[in-house]
Structure formats: C-alpha cells, structure tokens
Amino acid sequence: MNIDLRELLTLSLIPGVGSTRLISLISHFKDTALVLKASAKELVHVENIEKKTALSIVNFLRDSGADQAKRYIDDQFSRLNKCGARIISYWEKEYPPNLKNIFDAPAYLFVKGKILEADRYSVAVVGTRSASPYGTQMAEKISSELATLGITTVSGLARGIDTTAHSATLKSGGRTLAVIGSGIDIMYPAENLELAERIIRNGALISEFPMSTKPDATNFPRRNRIISGISLGTIVVETGVEGGAMITATLAFDQNREVFAVPASVQAKKRSGTNLLIKQEKAALVEDVEDVTAILAPQLKHLVRLAGATQRMPLPELTIFEQKLCDAMGDDPMHIDPLAEKAGFSTADALVHLLSLEFKGVVKQTPGKMFRKIG
C-alpha cells in the first residue's frame, strides 16, 4: 500500500466518500495517488462506488476542490504538529486490529500517545456520567483487576464511570485508551485534562474527528462504535435504559462482540439499564473480572499475565459425568441441547452436572443457556 496522508485527507473531503468507500477505493488501487488520477470508468469497478460518486471524485480537484483541500489539510497538519498528535491510517500496523473488523471502521484515526500490539487484548468499561458510589466502586474494582491481568481498558473519558475506569487502570499500572467525541486538540470535559495527559503516557487518546471539532452531541454515538470496536468485549457498569452506555452495548452486540453488565439494585430505576441488558440476554452478568475472562478466554489465551494466573489455579476433581460434559465442549460456547446430546445425557441430567461444574469454577453459563469451559 502506498498511503499519502495528505491525499487520504483530500479523498475524505469529496462528497459521498465516507470511510467505507475510502477503504474500498484504496484497497482496490493500493495507492492514494492512483485513486485521485483514476477515470470514472475505472472507479465504477470498485466495490461501493456507483457512477455518481465516481464523477464526484473525478470532478473534485478539477473544480475548486484542490484549493479547498490544500487549505484544510495545511490547517489540520499544523494543528496536529502543535499538539503532538498524528494520523494513523487503516492500513498501518498501529491501527487497532479489532477495529478493522467492524463494518464501518474509520479510514484513519487521530492519535496522541501510542497504540501497542498488546492493546488488541482490550475490554471497554463504560457507564453513566452520574455514577453512584456503588457504580464507581464496581468500575474501579473491575478496571483495576483488568489492568492487573494485562488487559487494556477502553473508555470515553467522560465524567463518571469512564473517568473512574481510566483512573483506576492507571493507578494499577495498566494501559488505557480513551476514545473521544471531539477533535483530539479539544479536551472535553475540561477537568479531565490532567487525566488525559496521564493516559497519553500510558496509552492513547483516539478520535476520528478532524482537529478542532467541537464535542457536539451527535458525535458521541459515532464515538461509541469505536470504543466497542477496539475492544474484545464491553462491560456496562451502570446506566439508565436510555443512557449512552446502552448505545455502546447495542453497538458491541451488533458487532458480534461480547457484552457484559454489572447488575443494579431493582430499586434503582434510573440505573436499571444493565438489568435490562441481562434480562434481554444481550449481556452476561458480571460480578467480578473472572466473569469476563471466562467468556473471553479463547481471545485472551495468548495473554501472558492471564495465562500465568490460570496456570496457578488448582484444577478441581471432576466426576466421570462432569468430565464427559467437559470433553464434549469445544472452545466456543455450546447450547445445552447439543451439548447434552454430544455427552450422552438428557438435558435435565446435563443441567444438574453443569450446575456442579459452575460451582467448581470449571464451566460458565452465558446468555441463551450457552455453556463454555473456563480457561
């Protein structure tokens, strides 16, 4: 791939060329310059590019687009250099690999700090801006435990649960990524400026929005898909049924990522979003970090600190029936019916033995009567 960042930004200014089309164009031509030089006839052979868009691309630089693009790009790079940030394109090694797998991945990101290979082992921790003492305590506990295992936390740098997740991770010596809903040179909320600087030293600030973009309300749902997209799973700690964290959970669910929820008191109606996710079987119930790592074990199996912790755990003794069920399970969660049939049990008998395995910490039940081995 031959990616010139100025040419990449130029292409992003063309009407009708969003990230999905931009990725299709460059993946097809392998060169940003070739995209800008292509004829309409060549462009229509690219996936997602119809005649109208092809003509927009061809005509853009012929009209007033060239001068407009140059002024815009000069300004963007001036602001990037001033705040010590940079652009990472979809085709670069540093671009988060998990994010590439969502259907509307950004073609490039504005980044301040470093995204490491180890950050592929990341989990999002999100929740309400008006956190209760209980929600704050749970966010701190879970984020700290994730950090201890070497799992990167991802959140949105908002007030409340997000701030707690970032702070607790850093306090525990972990890495954290903050995805923001403004330009990377605009700090929102302002009181998190010092926290943002600490994140930059132990992770990264990330945005898909151009420099100096204000934190408008419409930006945050788009921001949320990146939070869930970077992560292997999303933990919702505390939220109302219409909170922004519910949007993140829905996006994670749609992206085929794991969703987890910390249960709230049934009396806390304004914070009952997590209970709704659990009730709808869109999220697995989380009481501690082991509930998360049990489900994410296949994706986390190469993580050294997690593997070391797993190896130190003594294996419990199993009955012959319990062992049969364990032998019948693969790496992915299995529904009770095919699992029971494979192990040679009735569904009722299998459930009895699976309950025993859950008590022994060998098996975890996930939403939809699915079961998987832990570790």
Q: For 262-275, what is each residue's pLDDT tens digit?
A: 988 766 666 778 88
**In this structure, is residue 222 part of a structural domain?**
yes
pLDDT at 15: 87
- pLDDT grade, residue 312 (50/70/90)? very low
- pLDDT grade, residue 119 (50/70/90)? very high
Residues 163 and 228 in one domain: yes
pLDDT at 69: 85
pLDDT(43) > 60: yes
pLDDT(17) > 80: yes
pLDDT at 195: 96
pLDDT at 348: 85
Top pLDDT among 256 and 313 is at 256
Residues 64 and 147 in one domain: no
pLDDT digits (tens, 9 = 90+) for 131-171: 889 889 999 999 999 999 999 999 999 999 999 999 999 99
Q: Average model confidence (pLDDT) for the chain?
A: 88
**In this structure, is residue 302 part of a structural domain?**
no
pLDDT at 274: 87
Question: What secondary structure, in 3-state letters, does the chain show?
Answer: CECCHHHHHHHHCCCCCCHHHHHHHHHHHCEHHHHHHCCHHHHCCCCCCCHHHHHHHHHHCCCCHHHHHHHHHHHHHHHHHHHCCEEEECCCCCCCCCHHHCCCCCCEEEEEECCCHHHHCEEEEECCCCCCHHHHHHHHHHHHHHHHCCCEEEECCCCCHHHHHHHHHHHCCCCEEEECCCCCCCCCCHHHHHHHHHHHHCEEEEECCCCCCCCCCCHHHHHHHHHHHHCCEEEECCECCCCHHHHHHHHHHHCCCEEEECCCCCCCHHHEHHHHHHHCCCCEECCCHHHHHHHHHHHHCCCHHHHHHHHCCCCCCCCHHHHHHHHHCCCCCEEHHHHHHHHCCCHHHHHHHHHHHHHCCCEEEECCCEEEECC
pLDDT at 63: 66
- pLDDT grade, residue 81 (50/70/90)? very high
**In this structure, is residue 93 part of a structural domain?**
no
**In this structure, is residue 344 part of a structural domain?**
yes
Residues 158 and 254 in one domain: yes
Residues 275 and 138 in one domain: yes
Task: Find the CATH number of the domain harbouring 77.
Answer: 1.10.150.20
- The mean pLDDT value for 1-25 works out to 91
pLDDT(317) > 90: no
pLDDT at 186: 94
Residues 265 and 325 in one domain: no
Residues 234 and 279 in one domain: yes
Domain region containing 291:
118-178+213-295
pLDDT at 311: 43
**In this structure, is residue 39 part of a structural domain?**
yes
Q: How many domains is the chain partitioned into structurally?
A: 3
Residues 63 and 29 in one domain: yes
- The mean pLDDT value for 83-105 works out to 94
Point out the domain boundary residue: 260, 295, 330: 295
pLDDT at 359: 72
- pLDDT grade, residue 332 (50/70/90)? confident
| pTM > 0.85: yes or no | no
Please check whether residue 133 is in contact with residue 223, taking contact to mean a CB–CB distance below 8 angstroms.
no
